[in-house]
Amino acid sequence: MASYNVDERGYYGEFGGAYIPEMLYPNVEELRQNYLKITAEPGFKAEFDQLLKDYVGRPSPLYFAKRLSEKYNTKIYLKREDLNHTGAHKINNTIGQILVAKKLGKSRIIAETGAGQHGVATATVCALMGMECIVYMGEIDIKRQAPNVARMKMLGAEVRPALSGSRTLKDATNEAIRDWINNPVDTHYIIGSAIGPHPYPDMVTRFQSIISEEIKWQLKEHEGRENPDYVVACIGGGSNAAGTYYHFLHEPEVGIIAVEAAGKGVNSGHSAATSKLGKVGVIHGCKTLLMQSPDGQITEPYSISAGLDYPGVGPMHSHLATSGRGEFYSITDDDAMKAGYELAQMEGIIPAIETSHALAVLKEKKFKPEDIVIICLSGRGDKDLETYIDYFKL
Ligand SMILES: *Cc1c(COP(=O)(O)O)cnc(C)c1O
């Protein structure tokens, strides 16, 4: 049977690997040689599980959405990652990585952030562990995302502006990499999605795989079976999706549905639909599908949702797309916003706009009445209220 997990060389099919500057090799190699050993230790697992339970609030509920199910004439369950501490799935990964950093004897954490969500999740676990935290953020993003900058500062992190290039996420990532090269001994770099050089995509996927691990026993309680007919998730870099799919990747009866941001339309020139528009290239240290010009310059992505506004996609998802194991949809800003509004009105849940993209699949695909469809509710909409207010003139 085909494998959709990472292989020993760090590849998912033809995607993945570690395309990094020579000077970063020792840092990444230390992590590669140790991450599986560390995370398999009983002491590590016990501490990780305890924090997920008592600090994050796991297990997150698997909620049967009755009114939504009636409307779409199929059985819809929502995996409530929005109820996690800090409001999204990102905390599952930052807790895992900070525990790995501790075991590696690191005392200083760095991270990059675009909209600030990963920065906040990283600052949170650094406060929890009493570790120094430096978050690199583009100067433009610092201006655009003031509330998250304030949160990071309140949590004790130092927010360092990236002043070069377009002064956004890409430049923040470059600054973080430069920092790591200069501080290889005491510093761990917490990457926020299922991207980056091997072993990051696999490590992040494993930490997020708690999502599908819980879905299995929760669905068994609800429906008497572990496997749904479909699992659905939105994809920025692909960490909530990787976690939602993980325990179903090799269950052929479970359909895998991935939802990208089409922005103003796939062919509008303002889009982030990487599986449709991307070509094989290298971004953030891995070979993957990437939106780029014919001469290989990365194209500026666009989405109304900051978390999906990314020109690449994690290597696992590039493989799911090209192998046909995953079914990919691109959802426009307008359709996502309507789906988010509908969830609020029909179920009393205001989702993050990233998540609204996943919900919009219900209008795109006709499911059978007996199908069980699980949608990962990756985050809550508090952070997006202003965007909803502007859009719907609330
Ligand atoms: C960051 C974020 C995403 C996108 O990131 P992935 O790594 O693709 O999961 C999706 N939803 C929410 C709520 C987010 O905060």
Separation CA 302–CA 267 (nearest Å): 12
Residue 18: which pLDDT band, with cuts at 50, 70 and 90?
very high
The average confidence (pLDDT) of the chain is: 96
Residue 166 has pLDDT above 90, yes or no: no
**What would the pLDDT profile of 345-370 be if each residue is shown by its tens digit?**
999 999 999 999 999 999 999 999 99
CA distances from 295 to 20, 274, 278, 298, 301 (A): 21, 17, 13, 9, 17
Q: Please check whether residue 229 is in contact with residue 72, taking contact to mean a CB–CB distance below 8 angstroms.
A: no
327 — phi, psi (to 5°)? -105, 120
What's 12-51+90-204's CATH class?
Answer: alpha beta
**What would the pLDDT profile of 71-108 be if each residue is shown by its tens digit?**
999 999 999 999 999 999 999 999 999 999 999 999 99
328 — phi, psi (to 5°)? -105, 135
Q: Which atom of ligand 1 is nearest to the CA of 88?
A: 13
Question: Reduced to 3 DSSP states, what percent helix, strand and coil does the chain have, rounded to the nearest 5?
Answer: 45, 20, 35
Query: Average pLDDT, stretch 208-219?
Result: 98
Annotated active-site residue 378? The verdict is: yes
Query: Average pLDDT, stretch 126-137?
Result: 98
pLDDT value of residue 179: 97
pTM for the model stands at 0.98
Annotated active-site residue 90? The verdict is: yes
Q: Which atom of ligand 1 is nearest to the CA of 355?
A: 11
Q: Which atom of ligand 1 is nearest to the CA of 242?
A: 9
Query: What does the domain layout of the chain look like in residue ranges?
Result: 12-51+90-204, 57-88+205-392
Residue 33 has pLDDT above 90, yes or no: yes
Cβ of 92 below 6 Å from ligand 1: no
Question: Does the fold of domain 57-88+205-392 match that of domain 12-51+90-204?
Answer: yes
Catalytic residue among 81, 112, 175, 260: 112
Residue 170 has pLDDT above 90, yes or no: no
Highest mean pLDDT among 123-132, 294-303, 304-313: 123-132
pLDDT value of residue 349: 98
Cα dihedral value 260, 262, 267, 271, nearest 10 = -90
Residue 165 has pLDDT above 90, yes or no: no
Residue 130 has pLDDT above 90, yes or no: yes
Structure token digits, residue 361: 């699949």
Catalytic residue among 69, 79, 81, 90: 90
Separation CA 126–CA 99 (nearest Å): 10
Cβ of 381 below 6 Å from ligand 1: no
Select the more confidently predicted residue: 307 or 130. Answer: 130
pLDDT value of residue 168: 86
Q: Please check whether residue 142 is in contact with residue 159, taking contact to mean a CB–CB distance below 8 angstroms.
A: yes
Residue ID of nearest Cα to ligand 1 atom 7: 239
Residue 1 has pLDDT above 80, yes or no: no
Q: Looking up tokens 């070509």, which residue turns up?
A: 279
Q: Which atom of ligand 1 is nearest to the CA of 238?
A: 8
What's 57-88+205-392's CATH class?
Answer: alpha beta
Strand order in the sheet with 255-263: 62-64, 75-79, 372-376, 230-234, 255-263, 326-332
Looking at the DSSP bridge assignments, the partners of residue 175 are none
Q: Single out the residue of 2, 1, 3, 4 nearest to residue 194, CA to CA.
A: 4
How much of the chain, in percent, has pLDDT values that exceed 70?
Answer: 100
Instruction: Give me ligand 1 centre to Cα 314, in Å.
Output: 12
Cβ of 201 below 6 Å from ligand 1: no
**What would the pLDDT profile of 215-254 be if each residue is shown by its tens digit?**
999 999 999 999 999 999 999 999 999 999 999 999 999 9
Residue 134: which pLDDT band, with cuts at 50, 70 and 90?
very high
Annotated active-site residue 327? The verdict is: no
Structure token digits, residue 213: 């691990």
